[in-house]
Amino acid sequence: MNPRALRLLFLVGALVLGSSLVRASLKLPAFGHMQSPYGDAANVIAVQERQTTDAVTAVIFDIRGFDTQHEEFILFGAVGAVLLLLRPSEEDERELPEKEEREPGPPRSALLRMSARLYLPVCFIAGLELITHGQLTPGGGFQGGVAVASAFVTVLLLVGLGPYEKLVPSTPAELIESLGAGGYAVLGLAALAFGMTFLTNVLPLGHAGSLLSAGNSFLLDLVVGMAVAGGLVLIVGIYARQLLRVRKKEER
């Protein structure tokens, strides 16, 4: 097809789609005046029945906890796929034994290393706060897990791959990630032990606003945080090791 015909085809399609979009957005409720019975119901149920002050966490982990399990397993599968695709091939193992830890380039300055030493605990604790207070304040397992992982990724960027791998070697990271992913299923199965349906709340609900409230959501937050943090740490580690391998190959 020549370019002119393609352009004409695009214009026709864009006109049809554009006019439908404009007509649809004109019929939406006014900005700021949402009509959402589900949202109103969730707001009431979250605080009074589920004892959660963060309605989003109540919906994610309590009312629709089953969907979050699917999301977590998607993340788990994606991390596994990346690890599978980027694992060292036999040719790499023969040419560059993993024991050669010297990285190319000059050593990092003292300022960078000191900044990393100061930043790591602060960011780690902030991430833990996001994870454990998921049912009280905005945050939750996913956001807190990525914050915890970003603390270690910053160490990687500021100091280098050697200290990063000493800090989070791949075996404990894989263990934590698998515990996170499996823990979600185990918590769901715990409800079966009590004769209720999968993922029903088994822990006492407590009072809204205290740390140990919202029953299952607290443990599910921890478990999702572990899975996300472990997964992200693994992905970034394997990317960085790939880059190191490629750069070392260039040096020869």
Instruction: State the residues that interact with another protein by CB under 8 A.
Output: 54, 56-57, 130, 138-140, 142-143, 146-147, 150, 153, 232, 236, 239-240, 242-243, 246-247, 250
Q: How far is the CB of 60 from another protein (least distance, A)?
A: 9
Q: How far is the CB of 11 from another protein (least distance, A)?
A: 19
CB nearer to another protein: pick between 64 and 196: 64
Q: How far is the CB of 7 from another protein (least distance, A)?
A: 18
Q: How far is the CB of 129 from another protein (least distance, A)?
A: 12
CA 6 to CA 2: how far, in whole Å?
6
CB nearer to another protein: pick between 57 and 201: 57
Residues 6+ apart with CB under 8 A from 128: 144, 148
Dihedral sign, Cα of residue 212, residue 215, residue 219, residue 224? negative
CA 69 to CA 71: how far, in whole Å?
5
Classify residue 148 as exposed, middle or buried by CB count within 10 Å of its CB (0-12, 13-18, 19+). buried
CB nearer to another protein: pick between 16 and 243: 243
CA 125 to CA 236: how far, in whole Å?
20
CB nearer to another protein: pick between 139 and 215: 139
CB nearer to another protein: pick between 59 and 223: 59
Task: Provide Rg for the chain, Cα atoms.
Answer: 24
Q: How far is the CB of 146 from another protein (least distance, A)?
A: 4
Q: How far is the CB of 239 from another protein (least distance, A)?
A: 4
CB nearer to another protein: pick between 116 and 153: 153
Dihedral sign, Cα of residue 179, residue 51, residue 197, residue 140? negative
Q: In angstroms, what CA-CA distances link 1 with 10, 12, 246?
A: 12, 16, 41
Q: In angstroms, what CA-CA distances link 185 with 88, 137, 182, 198, 233?
A: 31, 25, 5, 9, 22
